[in-house]
Amino acid sequence: MSSNQSSDSVPTREVARRVFAREFNDASYTFKESDDERAPLYLLLPTGERANRVLVVGTLTETEDVGDESEYWRGRIVDPTGTFFVYAGQYQPEAANTLRDLETPAYVSIVGKPRTYETDDGTVNVSLRPESITAVDAGTRDRWVAETAQQTLERIQHLDDEGNEYGRMAKEQYDLPPDEYRTTALSALESLDESDSSPDTPTQSTESVSDPQ
Amino acid sequence: MSPIEKQRGGSETMSELRTHAEEIAEQFSDHLEITVDDVESQLENLVTQYKVPANEARRSVINNYLDEAGLDRDEISQGGASEILVNDIDEDEQWVDLTVKLVDLWEPGSDAISQVGLIGDESGTIKFVSFATSELPKLEEGAVYKLGNVVTDEYQGNYSVKLNRTTTITELDEEIEVGDNSASVEGALVDIQSGSGLIKRCPQEECTRVLQNGRCSEHGSVDGEFDLRIKAVLDDGVTVHEIIFNRERTEELTGLTLEEAKTMAMDALDTSVVADEIRGDLLGRYYRVTGPTYGRYILANEFEQLGAPADLESILIKARSM
């Protein structure tokens, strides 16, 4: 019978947002929605959405151990709009193993959390701390590009909606014209349309996906 | 928020008191011989003579009637029971009306329970319990009833309804096509939760609880039986769904049989290798899953992996038109 019972009785899992590298790397503002030390940290996307988790599918083009004493793997994942940087160390042992073992180039699917850090000259870099990295096929990658384009366009469409709290926040925090993201989403879609060569992947695949070992 | 706000002000109009009175009279209609006028005059007395806020007055009047009827507060409806479909029940302790068919009667586990089983409407099915103390007439399998004033109950994300002393039962002369709570969802498989892979279940009859460190929460240390299952999260970028794949579906999805999984675990001296293998096979890929909902889970009956998008053209048209 208390004031706000309906929604939050069971802690809900954070949704993995779909965002292209271009927009992801433009983001810099992070925030929490409560004072609780363990409250989730959100990255504010320029198209007006909060992201505590993202799903990225792209081409892993390079991996490098950039650690000093212990292994710390950096991977570059390329999508039609830019490059995601992913870092995995001792606290992400499975992801670190995968980065060490994968042969590049390879299509990979990454579920992870956005992390920001400020460089000495004051610019904010955004990277991805992986929860999982798996090798996937071209069909999965194409599906992600189409889905990400679609969801990016939907965010832009609702950016100015009354009551879109994160839309308002994005306009306050960023001086970034949303039309650029519309253009990049459109060209990402067009790149799929041109390369329509990838054959329809069969449904229900078990072994078709390449295994890193 | 608004009803409470509204009543905070001291000047309650007569029509609002009348509404309270009607609701209270309705709540006690099966228990006491009271009229709306009786209730209203009591409320009015408290509110105008004794300057009691309307909410407090309502509470106090209800308490008096509860005493008079020898009832507990949770045995009467809190007012405003609403007609709802069983698959839309998603909150604990709500008073609702249902029109349902009795699908199945189960063996009551204790003398306190008069009847237990499954009722359903076109949206799906839900468990119901009728307690001996409520002294309700027995329901019959296959019959259709309008059940007024049942209360919802939640246990670990699963909902049921309890019949109680105030529940009204009306047998209806109609047929209901009972649905199967089926849902179909799509998304990327973003997580495989703990309790997936090779697990052990309690061997006690009708228990089948999953063991934690060789212990059943009900039967203690037992010699468990191996099983395979996957608890996965499908995420479409907007919402998440939790999916359970049982042994057959897990074998189908991963190509790994229970016997192979046991061998793998024995070779590694560790059951977690099975879940690790499954993670590598499934995470980050797209699936469509169809099956009945069970609490917050969807039980996968059918599934398929989704490849390259099919309707690129329509997305492109939309993007270009923006």
| Neighbour tally for B291: CB within 10 Å | 23
SS3 B91: coil
Average of pLDDT values for A149-167?
93
> Cα distance from B319 to chain A (closest Cα, Å)?
6
Q: Hey, what's the torsion of the CAs at B86, B88, B93, B98, to 10 degrees?
A: -30
> Cα distance from A197 to chain B (closest Cα, Å)?
11
Between CA A205 and CA B253 the distance in angstroms is 8
B129 in Cβ contact with B160 (< 8 Å): yes
Q: Look-up: residue for tokens 């037992």?
A: B222
Q: Scan residues 171-200 of B and list those with Cβ closer than 8 Å to A.
A: 188, 190-191
pLDDT digits (tens, 9 = 90+) for B42-89: 999 898 888 888 888 888 898 888 888 887 776 665 555 678 898 888
> Is A211 in contact with B284 (Cβ distance < 8 A)?
no
Helix (H) or strand (E) holding B316: helix B312-321
Between CA B131 and CA B161 the distance in angstroms is 11
> Is A186 in contact with B240 (Cβ distance < 8 A)?
no
Q: What is the pLDDT of residue A210?
A: 43
> What DSSP string describes chain A?
--TT-SS-SSPPPPPEEE--HHHHHH---EEESSS-TTSPEEEEETTTEEESEEEEEEEEEEEEE--SSS--EEEEEEETTEEEEEEE-TTSHHHHHHHHHPPSSEEEEEEEEEEEEE-TTSPEEEEEEEEEEEE--HHHHHHHHHHHHHHHHHHHHTTT-TT-HHHHHHHHH----HHHHHHHHHHHHHHHHHTTTSPPPPSS-SS-SPP--
Q: CA-CA distances (angstroms) from residue B200 to A80, B135, B214, B219?
A: 45, 41, 8, 14
Between CA B136 and CA B156 the distance in angstroms is 27
> Cα distance from B156 to chain A (closest Cα, Å)?
10
Domains of chain A (ranges, CATH numbers)? 16-194 (2.40.50.140)
Q: What is the pLDDT of residue A24?
A: 97
pLDDT digits (tens, 9 = 90+) for B233-265: 999 999 999 999 999 999 999 999 999 999 999
Percent helix, percent strand, percent coil in chain B, to nearest 5: 30, 35, 35
Q: What is the pLDDT of residue B72?
A: 76
Both tokens of B318, joined, read 């939309």
Q: What is the pLDDT of residue A154?
A: 93
Q: Look-up: residue for tokens 């970028």?
A: B237
Which residue in A has a C-alpha nearest to residue B286's C-alpha? A140
ipTM above 0.90, yes or no: no
Q: pTM here?
A: 0.69
> Cα distance from B172 to chain A (closest Cα, Å)?
33
Low-confidence winner among A51-65, A142-156, A190-204, B178-192 (lowest mean pLDDT): A190-204
Low-confidence winner among A42-46, B161-165, B246-250, B293-297 (lowest mean pLDDT): B293-297
Between CA A25 and CA A114 the distance in angstroms is 10
Picking from B95, B108, B78, B101, the residue whose alpha carbon sits closest to that of residue B162 is B95
Which residue in A has a C-alpha nearest to residue B306's C-alpha? A203
Phi-psi region of B159 (alpha: psi -120 to 50; beta: other; left: phi over 0): beta
SS3 B301: coil
Q: CA-CA distances (angstroms) from residue B173 to A33, A56, B96, B107?
A: 53, 55, 21, 26
Higher pLDDT, B246 or B318: B246
Phi/psi of residue A54, each to 5°?
A: -135, 160
- Taking the CA atoms of B35, B36, B41 and B46 in sequence, report the sign of the dihedral they define: positive
User: E strands along B73-205, which residues?
Assistant: 82-83, 95-106, 113-121, 124-131, 144-155, 158-163, 168-172, 182-192, 197-201
> What DSSP string describes B198-250?
EEEE--STTT-PBPBTTEETTTEE---EEEEEEEEEEE-SS-EEEEEE-HHHH
Mean pLDDT of chain A: 87
Specify burial of residue B142 (Cβ count, 10 A radius: 0-12, 13-18, 19+): exposed
Q: Does B312 touch chain A (CB under 8 A)?
A: yes
> Is B285 in contact with A109 (Cβ distance < 8 A)?
yes
> Is B188 in contact with A3 (Cβ distance < 8 A)?
no
Average of pLDDT values for B85-95?
86
Q: What is the pLDDT of residue A12?
A: 79
> What DSSP string describes A183-201?
HHHHHHHHHHHHTTTSPPP
Q: Does B8 touch chain A (CB under 8 A)?
A: no
> Is B235 in contact with A156 (Cβ distance < 8 A)?
no
Which residue in A has a C-alpha nearest to residue B4's C-alpha? A3
Instruction: Answer yes or no: is pLDDT of B212 > 90.
Output: no
Angle at B225 between CA B221 and CA B229, to 5 degrees: 115
Q: Does B296 touch chain A (CB under 8 A)?
A: yes
Higher pLDDT, B230 or B29: B230
> Is B188 in contact with A55 (Cβ distance < 8 A)?
yes
B197 in Cβ contact with B228 (< 8 Å): yes
DSSP B137: P
